Structure 1
Amino acid sequence: MNDAPDWVEQARRLVTGLGETLGSALREPDAAGAHPTDCRWCPVCQVAAVVRGERPEVTNALADVLTAAAAALRTVAERASAPAPEAEAEEPVAPAAPVQHIEIA
C-alpha cells in the first residue's frame, strides 16, 4: 500500500484555492472601497496583472523557474529509480584515523 501524498492532487487544490482567493479579492473591494483600481504595489494586484497577461516578463521568468524545477525533480526521480551500481572487487579502504598526531617542536 502506498501512503505517499498525491502531489498532483495537492497542487491542484493549491491552485484552485489561490484562484478562488484571488478572484474574490479582485471582485469584492474592501468594505470602505479604499483599494484603488490602479494599484501597482500589493501582491494581489501584481498576481492579477500576471494572470491577465499585463506582465509578460514575469510570466516568462516564472515559466523558466518552473521548467528548471521540473527538470530537477525529474533528475532526482530518475536517480532514485536507477539501480544501484554494483560493488567493485577492490580492497576496502581503511577509514581515516580519528586522531592525527602532529609534532609541534
Structure 2
Amino acid sequence: MADTALFPPGERDKLILRLQNAVGGFVDGPGDAVEDADRVLEDTIQHLTAALAERRRTIRTSWQPPETTPEATPKEATNTEQLRLALRDYRETTERLLQI
C-alpha cells in the first residue's frame, strides 16, 4: 500500500493534543472534559470515515477503468498485475481495520 497513513501526521497530532487537553482538564471541569473528549472522538470518526472512503476510491481507480466498452467487463479491461495490487491493498486496508 503506497500511502498507509489514514490520518496526515498533523491532523493526528491535533486530535491527540485535543484529547490530552480534555483529559488534563478533568479535575477543573469534569463535565467539560467529557464533552471535549466526546467531540474529539466524533471528529476522529469523521476523519477516519472520510479517509477510508478516499482510500477505497483510490484502490478502485487503480483497477476499475473509468469507462469500459459495453463488450468489455472491468475484469477484462484490467491487467492481472493491477488486479493483484488492488487485491493486496484491499486486504491490507481491511486487515488494519480489523485490528482496531
Please tell me the TM-score bracket, short chain as reference.
0.3 to 0.5
Structure number with greater CO (CA < 8 Å, separation at least 6) is 2
TM-score between the two structures when normalised by the length of structure 1: 0.37
Structure with more of its chain in helix, by fraction:
2
TM-score between the two structures when normalised by the length of structure 2: 0.39
Greater Rg by CA: 1
